[in-house]
Amino acid sequence: EEELPPIYFFLAAVGLEEFISVFLKEKFDLDSLMLVSEKDLIDMNIPRGQRLKLMRAIAERKEALEPEQLTTADEVEDSHL
């Protein structure tokens, strides 16, 4: 039984699994999907509404994967138990 690639689950999570064959044909994986531009999606004939959903999902994933930067205000102070 063939395992589904991670890109399938990402696309399915945003309701775009119907486009998995397009992305696989273009040799996209989840990492390269994070580099896609709107022009790339236009060139792949992805409709505008689906492009917007995908671009939002990509932006949200990138944001979630960014390491949190601690600022001075975010640092935890010693409570001197």
Q: What is the mean pLDDT of each run of 10 residues along the chain (81 residues)?
A: 89 95 96 96 96 96 78 53 52
Structure-token pair, residue 56:
């939002």
pLDDT of residue 71: 54
Q: What is the pLDDT of residue 67?
A: 77
- First-residue to last-residue Cα distance in the chain: 56
Query: What's the confidence (pLDDT) of residue 28?
Result: 96
* Token pair for 10: 């990402």
